A and B are shown apart, each in its own frame.
Chain A
Amino acid sequence: MADGTLVGASYVPADHVAKVTGRAKYAEDFRAEGMLFAKLLLSPMPHARVRNIDASAALAMPGVKAILTASDVPDQNGAEKALTNEPFYAGEPILAVAAVDELTAAEAIEKIQVDLEPLPFVIDPLESLRPGAPNARLDGNVWSAPRPPAPGGGPPAPAARETVKWTQEDFASAGEGQLPMGRALEEWSFGDLDAAFKASALTLDETFVVQSTGHHPMETRSAMAYWQNGKVYLHGSTQSVAFTQGIIAGWLGIPPSDVVLICEYTGGGFGSKGAGAVSMAIPALLSKKANAPVMMRISREEESYIGRARTNMSGRAKVAFSKEGRILGLDLFIVQDSGAYGPMGDFRSGGNAASLIYQPAAMRMRAINVITNTPPRSQQRSPGPMQANGIMEPILTKAAKQLGLDQVALRRLNSPEGKALYGPPLPNGQRRHITSAFVKDALDRGAEAFKWNERKARSGQRRGSKVRGVGVTVGPHGAGSIGWDSIMTIRPDGKLYVQSGVGNLGTHSVMDLARVAADVLAMPWDKVEVVWGNTSKSLPWTCLSVGSQTTHAMTRANHAGAMDAKRKLQQIAAMDLGGSPDDYELGGERVHRRGSPGGGLTYAQAARRAIQLGGAFDGHAVPDDVNPMTKTSAAALAGLGLMGVAKDTYPRDGDTYSFVIGFAEVEVDVETGKVSLVDFLAVGDVGRVINPRSLMAQLNGGSCLGIAHALCQKWVIDPQYGLTLARRFHYNKPLTILDVPANMEAMALDMPDPETPVGARGVGEPPVGAGYGAVMNAIADAVGTDVFRRAPVTADIVLMSLEHGKRMHEPLRAHL
């Protein structure tokens, strides 16, 4: 473990002033000589075929420079292209126009005649499974189960589609308001489920509909591109800078070395810009065609369609409880809506998450992954585990009430501990396990800090028209990958330059990670320069900033690189000053003999010696095991100073997961159905804390997304025409600052993960499910466990259930 003063301390990252003063330049803030503006022509139909495009009137307009159509866009082996001749959803881009300004481009779009042949479409995933219902794609309505990898490797086969229709009997036998369960295409199980249900003291079988929600980062997926000497320079918005370079190259059909991606600031992504956005190809290709720089500013309207959304899931879970509340068996069935493209694997991570946080003794997981003519989905902050929380938590809350158990105690009883098992059985019969979990500690700490018992005592009591309720949920998520690289140099100016290939997506990890290296090298923070935001700046092979993996993955990589640099400092000192490298330690910006601070070599002297020595010392030789991208970058930096460069090869026993416990108290007005969130506490079991202030922001911010899912945020599509209705924020209703309590609290256990040198795990995602489940559980606690089975839980749902004494809301339909 690194023992310095930086890790664990809050600080102000170097880019903050630029961000809060508006000096930071995002993609759409750039300008280039002769720059044109692009606008998109979007499909007005949810599924159609382009028969003809007549752009003659548009091209005849003065100021219109070029038109890009699907035929100009390289094929993506069946995957989504930036433009299409067979739109699969209303709002899918068909063509783009480049003109001297946006007004001209928009007017040109209006002059283009696109002859579209409407094709059959389907909006609701369950509808698609009905006998005789249309398919969203001409070649199928569901994604086939993935084929096993070809023996001996080779490129993975593209995902396959097929047609699955359930029978009338499947639908008829579901029971009122319950999810029908026809043929599933994916299934796994472990343990003796039949025995579990036989032995159960209480069996509950419930259906829950998790809504879809648009990502809607504040910065839309705008991009600007120009070409110089055969290379494309692209100003875009991505969560992951280094990784996105190769992805863009694929979209454009050019080698990665011909792509320069500039993205110093990203106005949020929430998973929708994991590796940029496929639409970034449009200005790049248009720029080539028009032979001029092209700026494509994506409007909020367009972001509603191409900006991605969470997979909605309808889930049905049958759960067997012992009388003590232990979950003996879980039979889970998920219908996932992958939208028009995909396939999305959220349901798999959802099933894994359910098996992890509820630790059922036996479990069966079945799922079907449906294609609909709705805007494309991508991973959205906690993709899968949040949905699992939504499907499972109402059942746990109901079980606790029926068994007379405390809600926290029930979760604690079933919570994972240590190297807990999760997921499907492997071919060898064993199941995977996680690196560590301290969920019971987090529940205990949280219950105390939240004054759970005190609040519980007053829940359910009516004061005037108001009733309070409390809820708790354990939100899980995978929290780290391994095997990435780092590069850093100590240069003759005495400073440490850390190359950061991470995106600057608002989490601070782009800077935070360098503090691990600084701690290892005992470098004061003001002598550390983080180099980021531009693929021409010699970046190492870096993980995607998705799946809460960055903090874990890149603290390990930076630790490895810093240890490499440290060893080289010690070797140089031993070489020049005698003794063995182990006789030397770091301190006061010097490498010196143990116990003799102030002696030895300064870092600046060591850097100059490294350059003289060459070879591995200054980066002219790099380890064999680093990625080719890292080798290229190291070669470019070679000779600038003493280089630390390494791949993370630290061992890890298990898969890294983080957990956040959400505690919520709500007040429900039973005369209006309106829910107010009174208090919220998030407790993180997220390993060692790197940057406390940033961590609290992640815990609060992630919780807010979950709270939004519980209270208000939605996604609405008209089924008759297949068009998005909730196109604006006042329709799709993301959370506002006044919908959360002013004093939202967050805390972290700060217990290091034993399977990583720095002890840190990721945090971005687990708070989402925690917020979602905790708030909904609190509502159920206040007004009844059968009041709702879909989210968001809005006033109409609550009021109608209370008024009629039973659920009145639409049980299964998606996209309301």
Chain B
Amino acid sequence: MNILTWGRNPWGQWILTHISWGLLWAALFAGLAFLVAHASYMLLSRHRKREAHETDAMEAARPDLPPRIARHSLAARLFHWVMAGAMFVLLFTAFLPIAGVKFPWVAWHWMAGLVLTGSILFHIVHATIWMDFWSIWVGPSDLPELKAELMRELGHDVAGPRPGKYPLGNRLYHLVIVLAGLAVAATGLTMLVRIRTPFLTRNPYLLSDASWGFTYVLHGLAGVSLVGLVMAHVYFAVRPEKWWITKSMILGWITRRQYLEHHDPQRWVAR
């Protein structure tokens, strides 16, 4: 399978036009394969969870905590769902026509793209100023947690650190989605100049053929990556053992018990 699609400019020179749409099917397949693999694994795994009595003990030790621990502010939740909505509109308007479902998609796509971009900008500002900015990032200091979590997956009971506010998987996912999201938004914003919008004078000649080719390929690669990433995200969101997290993204809080069971109170100090 070709990864890239080449075309010719009017001078007959080869130019990159976009990724090969075969990659869309590859991303869908990869996403599905991951789901199947993960679901099978979960059925068979010996994932080490805290026993109920352990959690009971912890809860008893921390009567100072309120019964509901605020996990996501209203602003953060609004951002998440607006972004999610925009992302779905973007993905469906981008890929349904390629899959053969024809409809006028461009206006929906660029409007959703602007919503997504706006929400990302909001999120960056919001997260920088009002949120615990570093809580979502991963770094070398997370290696012990990685090790501990892996051991727990294998059924061992280890003492190592538990997740702070965001589980490690969450944070890794965030990292990837930041990369894909920024790439798709930046290229998408550039591509706005290729179509007719109220904001810009259409000028497909703004960049050179080579720069446009790079932009289209990056947009496409980020786009198909997002197909896989979103599939995985939705999958985890609806898994029963993760449902409490999903619920927190709707309601904004988790129970004291959930807080103590899944998080390291040292690393995420609830107030």
Q: Verify whether A and B have any Cβ pair under 8 Å.
A: yes
| Least CB separation from A118: chain B residue | B11
A44 contacts B205, CB within 8 Å? no
A511 at the binding interface (Cβ < 8 Å): no
Q: A723 vs B12: C-alpha distance in the bound complex, in angstroms?
A: 12
A45 at the binding interface (Cβ < 8 Å): yes
Complex contacts, B12 vs chain A, CB 8 Å: 44
Give the size of the chain B interface in residues (CB under 8 angstroms).
5
A430 at the binding interface (Cβ < 8 Å): no
B9, B12, B205 — which one has the most chain A CB atoms within 10 A of its CB? B12
B139 at the binding interface (Cβ < 8 Å): no
Complex contacts, B9 vs chain A, CB 8 Å: 721
Complex contacts, A228 vs chain B, CB 8 Å: none
B205 contacts A45, CB within 8 Å? no
Complex contacts, A118 vs chain B, CB 8 Å: 11
A720 at the binding interface (Cβ < 8 Å): yes
Complex contacts, B140 vs chain A, CB 8 Å: none
Within residues 1 to 50 of chain B, which ones have a CB less than 8 A from any CB in chain A? 9-12
Complex contacts, B11 vs chain A, CB 8 Å: 44-45, 116, 118, 721
Q: A67 vs B187: C-alpha distance in the bound complex, in angstroms?
A: 46
Main secondary structure of the interface of B (DSSP, over half): loop
Q: A179 vs B9: C-alpha distance in the bound complex, in angstroms?
A: 34
| Least CB separation from A114: chain B residue | B12
What size tier do the contact residues of chain A reach? under 10
B15 to chain A, nearest CB (A): 12
Q: A721 vs B10: C-alpha distance in the bound complex, in angstroms?
A: 7
Complex contacts, A44 vs chain B, CB 8 Å: 10-12
| Least CB separation from B204: chain A residue | A720
Q: A714 vs B12: C-alpha distance in the bound complex, in angstroms?
A: 26
Q: A195 vs B10: C-alpha distance in the bound complex, in angstroms?
A: 55
| Least CB separation from A720: chain B residue | B205
| Least CB separation from B10: chain A residue | A721
Complex contacts, A45 vs chain B, CB 8 Å: 11
Q: A242 vs B22: C-alpha distance in the bound complex, in angstroms?
A: 65
Q: A45 vs B205: C-alpha distance in the bound complex, in angstroms?
A: 17
B147 to chain A, nearest CB (A): 57
A531 to chain B, nearest CB (A): 49
**What 0/1 readout, one digit per residue, does chain A (234-251) give for beta carbons within 8 Å of chain B?**
000000000000000000
Q: A720 vs B12: C-alpha distance in the bound complex, in angstroms?
A: 14
Within residues 59 to 95 of chain B, which ones have a CB less than 8 A from any CB in chain A? none
**What 0/1 readout, one digit per residue, does chain A (102-139) give for beta carbons within 8 Å of chain B?**
00000000000000101000000000000000000000
A53 to chain B, nearest CB (A): 14
Q: A17 vs B97: C-alpha distance in the bound complex, in angstroms?
A: 62
**What 0/1 readout, one digit per residue, does chain A (43-59) give for beta carbons within 8 Å of chain B?**
01100000000000000
B61 to chain A, nearest CB (A): 73
Q: A723 vs B10: C-alpha distance in the bound complex, in angstroms?
A: 8
B206 to chain A, nearest CB (A): 12
Complex contacts, A723 vs chain B, CB 8 Å: 10
B186 to chain A, nearest CB (A): 25
Complex contacts, B10 vs chain A, CB 8 Å: 44, 718, 721, 723
Q: A718 vs B10: C-alpha distance in the bound complex, in angstroms?
A: 11
| Least CB separation from B12: chain A residue | A44
Q: A720 vs B11: C-alpha distance in the bound complex, in angstroms?
A: 11
Within residues 115 to 165 of chain B, which ones have a CB less than 8 A from any CB in chain A? none
Q: A720 vs B9: C-alpha distance in the bound complex, in angstroms?
A: 11
B193 to chain A, nearest CB (A): 15
| Least CB separation from A90: chain B residue | B11
Q: A116 vs B14: C-alpha distance in the bound complex, in angstroms?
A: 12
Complex contacts, A720 vs chain B, CB 8 Å: 205
Complex contacts, B205 vs chain A, CB 8 Å: 720
Q: A44 vs B9: C-alpha distance in the bound complex, in angstroms?
A: 10
**What 0/1 readout, one digit per residue, does chain B (200-231) give for beta carbons within 8 Å of chain A?**
00000100000000000000000000000000
Within residues 711 to 748 of chain A, which ones have a CB less than 8 A from any CB in chain B? 718, 720-721, 723
Q: A116 vs B11: C-alpha distance in the bound complex, in angstroms?
A: 10
Q: A118 vs B209: C-alpha distance in the bound complex, in angstroms?
A: 14
Q: A44 vs B12: C-alpha distance in the bound complex, in angstroms?
A: 7
B99 to chain A, nearest CB (A): 33
B10, B11, B12, B205 — which one has the most chain A CB atoms within 10 A of its CB? B11
A43 to chain B, nearest CB (A): 9
Q: A721 vs B11: C-alpha distance in the bound complex, in angstroms?
A: 7
Q: A718 vs B12: C-alpha distance in the bound complex, in angstroms?
A: 15
Complex contacts, A721 vs chain B, CB 8 Å: 9-11
Q: A118 vs B10: C-alpha distance in the bound complex, in angstroms?
A: 13
Q: A118 vs B11: C-alpha distance in the bound complex, in angstroms?
A: 9
Query: Which residues on B are within 8 Å of A, measured CB to CB?
Result: 9-12, 205
Given contacts A44-B11, A721-B9, 10 further A-B contacts (CB under 8 A): A44-B10, A44-B12, A45-B11, A116-B11, A118-B11, A718-B10, A720-B205, A721-B10, A721-B11, A723-B10
In the assembled complex, 12 residue pairs joining A and B whose CB atoms fall closer than 8 Å, in A order, are: A44-B10, A44-B11, A44-B12, A45-B11, A116-B11, A118-B11, A718-B10, A720-B205, A721-B9, A721-B10, A721-B11, A723-B10
